[in-house]
Structure 1
Amino acid sequence: MRKLDSYLELGLLGMSRGGQLSWFNGHFGAALLAGYYLYKEHKLPEYVLEGIERTGEHYREMYPDWFVPLEKEESDSALLELVLSGLAKNTEQLTASGHGLALGVLALKALHDAPHMRTKSVIAGIVQMLERTAEDRPDRYWGIDNYLELSIEEDRGIPTYQSTLDMAKQAFAELHLVAPDQIIDGKKYFFRGELEHGITHAQALKELDRLGYTDLAKAGMKNHRFQMFLNRQKPHFIEEKQVRTPAFSTILAPEYWEKRYDDPHALKVPYAAWDLLRFVPSQERAVSEYDTCKILSLMQ
């Protein structure tokens, strides 16, 4: 057995324990889950698997207490309803760039695959994380004082999604201009981050639909469409700093996987993008993957 085989349980533990401290800290367990599913669902070169383990083990070293094995505790499948309620709350309004879905659906998927992990302590941490993702800073997006007060029903130049494929294609289409996150006038704007969250949010909703939670997925798709509009809000001067040519042109590039990353998105974005790219028409896939590499070129 290789280290990756342990990442299903360790990912849930890390997400639960980290998520009790802040929703962002839930990312590190989610990253291990992303690495696990990359490994289990795709035939990948050995150097990619080694790269996942290199970074995954780094996260475990950063926060060792979060990944201590669970003490013996009875599981209760009825507790899964608490996670579903937390996901439903996060479909009511776009908050935190869709992290409630991006993180929560990974947890839901893992809890389906590891029902023995549906314990009170694990579920409590995940539910607490989902409660926190339902709140956000109102001036998160450039030039908008309070995006939480805007209507999501307006057209705003984004076509209505007829399918999850439409949503995936739109998320990739928004990657034509990728620029680094920046602090402007004392506020941080996630110009790169919002684009990667468009991908992780879309993949989570597609996965939610695949798992049979179609109504939740449809409710979330309205928020994703609104998110695409918000992600377009950028000052003109960031074009000067955009990534015009990524350091590599494929998500499986050895240059990417030979490094060790601090940012948990380093595993989450490849997982989400690689999964979504399977459904993108072949004539569009190369451009979508190339543009995703602009994001990965900025990963630290």
Structure 2
Amino acid sequence: MTRRKLLPADRGLVARMVVAAVATPLIVLALLTVVFLAAPTKIIIVTGIASVLGVGAMRKERAGGRRTSTVSEGEAPELHAIVERLCLLADLPKPAIVVEPQRVPNSWVVGTGAGGYRLHLTEGLIDRLDRHELEAVIGHELAHVANHDAAVMTVVGGPGAALLGGGVQLMRGGWWLAISGGAVAAAIGWVASLGTRALSRYREFAADAGSVALTGSAAALASALMKVSDGISAIPARDLRAAAAQDAFHLLPVARRGEDRMRLPATHPSLEARIARLERLEQALQQRR
């Protein structure tokens, strides 16, 4: 029996992901249609400008990411061995591995199927976790790759994120028309973020389950999540600000509660909810053995 068959599919979770993925773009389209039909022409034009600015900012952010170098098999043989074994189980190409010189314990995956993926692990994470916990975290990240989460979240959340970012940028200009049109764009983007971030939370649950299916241990991932959470709590807030910008991609978000001025929904489920699901998955595994 393969790891993928060890655990039954969570149909309720899959259904919620489908609803969020389909409904979010439809809501954006419906709201833009209302603006196009009912708003003054100047507001329509400014809303369009906001979307263009938002797309430009997103592309600049991705292109301007910090250049990092990968670690070779000779530099990190044990780490490469873990990744290779899990990739064989998941039938995935092996990603490049980057060890980030950060105290914040975290992990994430970037890239596309066409351009290749990079698995990022911080030194703080590697130092804090034992082998089984590290394996569980890597399994979680590989599950994101297997589920094509980066592509799905870009398609579903891209338009809303562009409108929100571009709208906020225009509102800072001070000109009344830019403020009005920017507010319309930002409002549509904010509404879209409700569905996008709900989908992001569901996909974290799915990646947790994928890790369990690959490693055969929900307890290891639960232990890793608690250690990462404790590690993040011990890091000063000033050291977390730069990392917080990429929270949507992280194993756990690093932003402190209450710091989100836009009052956007959370990108991740609560730690308590994830641990509770993992405990149920561990019980299911024990019953099958």
Structure with greater Cα Rg: 2
- TM, length-normalised to structure 1: 0.27
Greater strand proportion: 2
